[in-house]
A and B are shown apart, each in its own frame.
Chain A
């Protein structure tokens, strides 16, 4: 009985969705699945800015819906299914952990389009998209290397997935270039959003001598701790400008709005196809927030030059010679890292030479 009524509701929803497309007057329904609250002022906040941009661009022709704080894992499948049943034409699932749930739900709803952020599994109705955050990490890594006095940089990492590992490696390589004495302490907190724990991690790093903090988690808690301690930090995912000019001396900003507007447009005019998008500083998907005046002018100039070189493609953030942590050669002199394949960036699961500790499995 229960299953029947669910199926009936599903059929009805699909039916209406079909009518909507045929009619041409019904708005296109776009859904977003968020891993944190839209008020995190970080990762989810920026995705929500993308949703607002879609509304702004298409007005009445689009209807948006979103669900916040959806846990990664089995419950995500329920939330995505629910959204598909509500008649969404396009669903953005905005965290790595939604990869398998998205693929599973997409198989059941062949007429609904899905877009999964930061993953690597695609299907006919599932696109993937991500940003080359590691380009941004290179720039702020350089600034961090120049700004540390204790030569100890603290790094708050979330989950051991390729995106996070790439960020650590890129930041370390460029901090080391800027300051050969620099050391990294990486703390894994196994959460994207837990202000209490993120703050505790920042405090532990500071207590043990770190005077610059980088984070790959979504809340501004580490910024608040850094402010209290009088050290430096960088905005993550969003500008976190409330903490400028210090502790936040610059930031990596994710700008999803143009991509979301374009993809919703593609669904509207029927040109949507399953694609893989991976854009960096050049196309503007990754931005560097204003470098505050606390940073000396020459360091700022170097950072901006590095940003420009990454943007026009004249420099790749992973350019050899670079060895892996065990000393074996990863990239020879002048060689740049490939996106895919063995040892490619997409599946990166190793530290580069000089980092201590192991990448958790």
Chain B
């Protein structure tokens, strides 16, 4: 057992990088769910974002434009979900699951030509002024943190945020007050899609820096779970994502260092610890457990 090889600064950087894709997707889904919509298509939107980001980055030579492309791609895909659930009144759970399957297939199709290509260098996005260890962080990690703060402030302090929450709590009341329930929800869904797309592109452009079919490998589902366990609060979503990413990276490092704990326990620890911590936090606050938006998953029709 030799822990002297584990450098805390490197570990911190690695955990932030590992958590960022989940964090981006989760904070987007949080806004969607706050508007009363349950979109289970996060995995599909992420993987489409991953391939769109990759395609844009390679064709423009700019990873930053790649991220823009990923956000657009994710948002466009989510608009299919919006059209089906908001205008055609389809079931949100079934449509969301369908979106994931569709996204996985579509991304594989879009990405066929790009499997063996290399993405442009992302060295320009790295925070190399932080030194060798923390220098592997990049602007997207910071962007994700800023986004969490912005979403928190938006929901808590702005009028638009209040309207969005009202739509999510009681769409009938919001409608009676003259707010365009469907418009608000479509905008929220598109935002969620864009965030999931960014999360996917972070995976293909920064964390792994290659395109592989199905490369999100369940990250979208983790993001969905973190929104619920974080009881729809941006700060707890941040805690959940960092905890999950952190323990994932930590357990790999402990394995390399030869910690004398059975690998099975280390391997399941990210799931266990994340669930445990978030359950404790939400149960201690009474009301937090009931924090789910009241109209979550319910379709709205103006006549009804």
Contact A37 B253 (CB under 8 A): no
Q: Out of A191, A221, A242, which one reaches B116, CB within 8 Å?
A: A242
- Secondary structure at the B interface, as helix, strand, loop or mixed, is helix
A36 to B267, CA, bound (A): 20
A188/B115 in contact, CB under 8 A: no
B231 in the interface, Cβ–Cβ < 8 Å?
no
Q: Which residues of A lie under 8 Å from residue B218 when comparing CB positions?
A: 194
User: A154 and B214: CB pair below 8 A?
Assistant: no
In contact, B252 and A200 (Cβ under 8 angstroms):
yes
Q: For residue B257, which residue of chain A has the nearest CB?
A: A208
Q: Would B256 and A154 count as touching, CB distance under 8 A? A: yes
| Contact, CB under 8 Å: A207 / B214 | no
Q: Per-residue CB proximity of B104-124 to A under 8 Å, as 1/0?
A: 100010011001101000000
A357 to chain B: closest residue by CB? B258
Cβ-defined contact, B21 with A187, below 8 A: no
Residues from chain B with Cβ under 8 Å of A270 in the complex: none
Asked if B215 and A196 sit within 8 Å, CB to CB, the answer is yes
Q: Indicate if B14 sits at the interface (CB-CB under 8 A).
A: yes
CB distance from A188 to the nearest CB of B (A): 5
Interface size class of B (residues with CB under 8 A): 35 or more
- What does the 1/0 interface line of A181-194 toward B look like (CB < 8 Å)? 00001111111011
Q: How far is the CB of A9 from chain B (nearest CB, A)?
A: 22
Residues A38 and B253 in contact, CB atoms below 8 Å apart: no
B62 partner residues in chain A, CB cutoff 8 A: none
Interface assignment of A228: CB less than 8 Å from any CB of chain B: yes
**With A and B bound together, what is the CA distance between A357 and B218 in angstroms?**
29
Q: Mark B1-36, 1 if CB is under 8 A from A, else 0.
A: 000011100110010001001000000000000000
Within 8 A of A (CB), among B214-266: 214-219, 248-249, 252-253, 255-258, 262-264
B115 A41 Cβ-Cβ under 8 A: yes
Looking at the complex, which of B137-145, B168-176, B205-213, B277-285 is the stretch in contact with chain A?
B205-213
Q: How far is the CB of B229 from chain A (nearest CB, A)?
A: 20
Shortest Cβ-Cβ A-B pairs, 6 listed: A39-B213, A37-B213, A194-B217, A208-B5, A204-B252, A360-B263
Interface residues in chain A, defined as those with a beta carbon under 8 Å from any beta carbon in chain B: 36-41, 68-69, 154, 160, 185-191, 193-197, 199-201, 203-205, 207-210, 219-221, 224-225, 228, 242, 356-358, 360-361
Q: List 24 A-B contacts (CB under 8 A).
A: A39-B108, A39-B112, A39-B212, A69-B214, A160-B263, A185-B258, A194-B217, A194-B218, A195-B203, A195-B208, A196-B207, A200-B14, A200-B248, A201-B252, A204-B255, A207-B5, A207-B7, A207-B10, A208-B5, A219-B212, A221-B212, A357-B255, A357-B263, A360-B263
A sample of 9 more A-B contacts (CB under 8 A), given A195-B212, A208-B256, is A36-B214, A40-B214, A196-B18, A196-B21, A205-B256, A207-B14, A228-B209, A358-B263, A361-B264
Tell me the B residues contacting A by CB distance below 8 Å. 5-7, 10-11, 14, 18, 21, 104, 108, 111-112, 115-116, 118, 203, 207-210, 212-219, 248-249, 252-253, 255-258, 262-264, 267
